[in-house]
Amino acid sequence: MPRPQTTASANNPPMFCPCTPSRSYDACCGPHHQALAQTGRLTAPSAEVLMRSRYSAFVLELRDYLLASWHPSTRPAQLEAPEPGLKWLGLEVKAHQPAGERATVAFVARSKLGGRAHRLAETSRFVREDGQWFYLDGDLA
């Protein structure tokens, strides 16, 4: 399975999408990232799509997207830059439970830092307001 380019950035997007390497970035998360930059609105049609676009934003260091997609009631004032050498290795969505204007998404994100593998397992909570999905918070598994 192809891996995202390691030199990707907002100005040099990857060929393959970080959230789903079998899909192109332009056919997956790219349009959601670009729509926010162009219109100021989030376009993810579901909490799962927003979660995937947020994972891709972490990989590509799109901190503006991460902050904009974080609900104002729980959003931090700023995000720290990732630790030097952090490599995101993949995302696996375990479950998506929509419930009207709220939803949860359980996932596992894998990374590597300093030669050590890491695994982040979380069940995230999302809310839809004014037609836009926002990340609220999550519980580590």
Q: What angle do CA 90, 73, 48 make, to 5 degrees?
A: 30
Residue 11 is predicted with a pLDDT of 60
Instruction: Give the start-to-end residue ranges of the domains of the chain.
Output: 25-140
Residues 69-98: b if buried by 16+ CB within 10 A, e if exposed: bbbeeebeeeeeeeeeeeebebbebeebee
Q: pTM for this structure?
A: 0.90
Q: Looking at beta carbons, which pairs linking 62-65 to residues 24 or more positions away fall under 8 Å? A: 62/10, 62/33, 64/36, 64/37, 65/33, 65/36, 65/37
- Whether domain 25-140 has CATH 3.10.450.50: yes
Q: Which residues of the chain have pLDDT under 50?
A: 1-8
What pLDDT shows up at residue 14? 81
Q: So what's the pLDDT on residue 4?
A: 37
Beta bridge partners of 134: 127
